[in-house]
Structure 1
Amino acid sequence: MQENTQQAVTISAIASAAGVSVPTVSRVLNGRSDVAPATRERIENLLREYGYRRRGATQAPSRLVDLVFNDLDSPWAVEIIRGVEEALNADGLSVVVSAIHRRGSADSTRKWLDILGARTSDGAILVTTDLDSFLHAELQRLHLPVVVVDPAGVPDLEVPTIGATNWTGAVTATEHLIQQNHRRIGFVAGRPGLWCSRARLDGYRAGLDAAGIPFDPALVISGDFDYESGFSAGTELLALRDRPSAIFAASDQMALGVYEAARQQGLRIPDDLSVIGFDDLPEAGWASPPLTTVRQPLSEMGTLAARTLVRLIKGEAVESPRIEVSTRLVTRASVRAAG
């Protein structure tokens, strides 16, 4: 069976190799639960090994695209989905949204690949995902065009990527605080290890360096891009004996967590503490006071990713393997000059 091409692999061949009936393989392909775990694992391994897909290469496209996140519990994801969906709908394609959770990610990735191989898809958009060698190889085995939005690691030049000018945006935010006479500026960094987290931290440091302000590692605390980690980091920064007069958070949700940390310590924004975020989610404008932030055009990034994927699906060349959209500072009421 090792000599079979992807097109030659059938359910019957998989069933024979696994020593089970054709209906048993079909139940696994359809996600049914009435299959013994050991049998299911044996069948799934064979499906992966031979790159089985329900649709052969000569059949009509599925008109489906997979949009995959690490997590779906953020308004950030909603903005990406909006851009992807609008662009795909214009081309007559539908989107299937799923998550490969960071906790237990190896198992989640395998399950997603099993579903993908069974259901078929015309392409995939991966968001803030580390396209490691295993995942890359499996997607190539399935002959699936892929675009990565905001790659977790160093962008792979073999796969088109869509990102934002994270470093420039962080420099701009830091310079804005410095122009308002802030010199002791705290920074709530993003999740360690992510490409965008490193770029924003580097931008913060570059902004300080350009103004001749020494970098103080005590003023940098890593978060996880969510409200809870922003609250925790904000609480820690504001408990310093020489607390910062301003805090730049690497996401809006973390910035709003800083808001709550300040409130619980009896500090007023911006009278006692200036705060800047990053993303410009809808909540930034609803906050009290409205949050100054670096706008990352998330919906546009989703649209660009979808259009790039459509070109790949059609067999067309893409203009550039790496696209970065511009960020810009949106000034609101959460920053004031240091007294």
Structure 2
Amino acid sequence: MTGRATMAAVAKAAGVSISTVSRVLADRPDISEETRRRVTRAAKETGYVLRKGRQQPQDGILDVLIEGVTSPWAGELISGVQMAAFSLGYTLALTSTSHPRFSIRDWIAVRRTRPTDGVILVLSRARHDEIAALADLSAPLILLDPVGTSEPTIPTVGATNWSGGAAATRHLLELGHRRIGFIGGPPEIQCTRERHEGYLAAHREFSLAPDPALTRYGDFLITGGVEHGAALLDLPDPPTAVFAGSDGQAAGVYQVARARGLRIPEDLSVVGFDDTAICTMLAPPLTTVRQPLAEMAAEGVRLIAQEQARPGSSLGRRIELATSLVIRDSTEPPKAVGGNPSAGPATP
């Protein structure tokens, strides 16, 4: 074998783990001489690419393509990928696609000049043909889809967005709220649709039909919460609660509520989604749906290592990790209910 062998190929040939290969290549002292000889021989036999100017194979490299890196959500996801990659001996190469001049095809052309052991995609607007073109890199692809769309042949790691949307809305309905605003992300994104479907399903449990005027679509950022929170609160009959499709948008709702002299939760209850660090920084701390971002990232890295060791073993696989409602201080019964929450779903 020659050319684009991976650390997983070396590990398989030597009969050891990827992390053991990484330690041998890093010249760590905690490796037996027999294991060191087996790994070195396997690297030579598989044609593992040598780092220019060095006498030993290069460390494994994982590429991450993500739309933006400045939000708390992105920070937690990247941190999770980094920790999982480090534990398996990978080096992380991070690329933000948010620059207006970024082109996936140009990125692919650059990546052909150096091997990659796998690509983790965190993209919401990549076209099917662009994702298909990534297969030309002959490296495992994993889609992390808190914001993305499914591809039938690419392993996907996501969260139970429908259940999370239903749990958030059900919590507000059980408190007695009947006019609940929904601020999702862009409507074409899968997780937005799933969270909104959960919102609708919870209303059906209570035999209620939500007012369509209370559904808005933002950008998952604080700006979206500001814009659409203001539009909801300025309605002639505003909502008594808002379920925001991200913690960032929930923070934006906090801003516009306070600008109008409204208190949270006395005048307006707010629920977010993600459970990022911003939740406990807000006053009051934000009730939200916990999305296991670090665990999702680690699962994506694990699938790449698995695919390297057994090509095709993860083809089309979809893994969903459970969401959970985290109740803090941003929700309470609406004033009109007089502090008596609904006992349960209304009867038809």
| TM-score interval, normalised by the smaller of the two chains | 0.7 to 0.9
Give 1:29's aligned residue. none
- Alpha-carbon contact 1:62-1:121 (below 8 Å) kept: no
Give 1:66's aligned residue. 63
- Alpha-carbon contact 2:146-2:159 (below 8 Å) kept: no
Q: Return the letter of the residue paired with 2:314.
A: V
Whether 2:107 is the aligned partner of 1:132: answer: no
Instruction: Find 2:182's aligned residue among 182, 187, 191.
Output: 187
CA distance in 2, matches of 1:232, 1:87: 37
Q: Give the SS at the match of 1:323.
A: strand
Give 1:80's aligned residue. 77
Q: Give the SS at the match of 1:118.
A: coil
TM-score by length of 1: 0.79
- Alpha-carbon contact 1:68-1:125 (below 8 Å) kept: yes
Equivalences for residues 267-286 of structure 1 within 5 A: 267-286=262-281
Q: Give the SS at the match of 2:325.
A: strand
Superposed CA deviations along residues 129-165 of structure 1, whole A, max 9, x for unmatched, are 4553432332222211100001755422311000000
CA distance in 2, matches of 1:271, 1:77: 31
Whether 2:328 is the aligned partner of 1:332: answer: yes
Shift of 1:113: 1.2
Whether 2:317 is the aligned partner of 1:321: answer: yes
CA distance in 2, matches of 1:156, 1:232: 32
Q: Return the letter of the residue paired with 2:81.
A: V
Change (3 A) 1:319 1:116: closer
Whether 2:137 is the aligned partner of 1:146: answer: no
- Alpha-carbon contact 1:165-1:324 (below 8 Å) kept: yes
- Alpha-carbon contact 1:130-1:152 (below 8 Å) kept: no
Give 1:16's aligned residue. none
CA distance in 2, matches of 1:251, 1:220: 14
Shift of 1:315: 2.5
Q: Which moved more, 1:248-257 or 1:68-77?
A: 68-77
Instruction: Find 1:98's aligned residue among 92, 95, 100.
Output: 95
Give the % identical residues.
Answer: 40
Shift of 1:234: 0.6
Q: Return the letter of the residue paired with 1:142.
A: L
Equivalences for residues 45-60 of structure 1 within 5 A: 58-60=47-49
CA distance in 2, matches of 1:287, 1:279: 14
The count of corresponding residues between Structure 1 and Structure 2 is 284
Q: Give the SS at the match of 1:124.
A: strand
Change (3 A) 1:319 1:117: closer
TM-score by length of 2: 0.77
- Alpha-carbon contact 2:154-2:315 (below 8 Å) kept: no
Change (3 A) 1:288 1:262: same
Q: Which moved more, 1:259-268 or 1:185-194?
A: 185-194
Q: Give the SS at the match of 1:231.
A: helix
Give 1:47's aligned residue. none
- Alpha-carbon contact 2:152-2:316 (below 8 Å) kept: no
Across the aligned residues of Structure 1 and Structure 2, the Cα RMSD in angstroms comes to 2.1
CA distance in 2, matches of 1:92, 1:214: 52
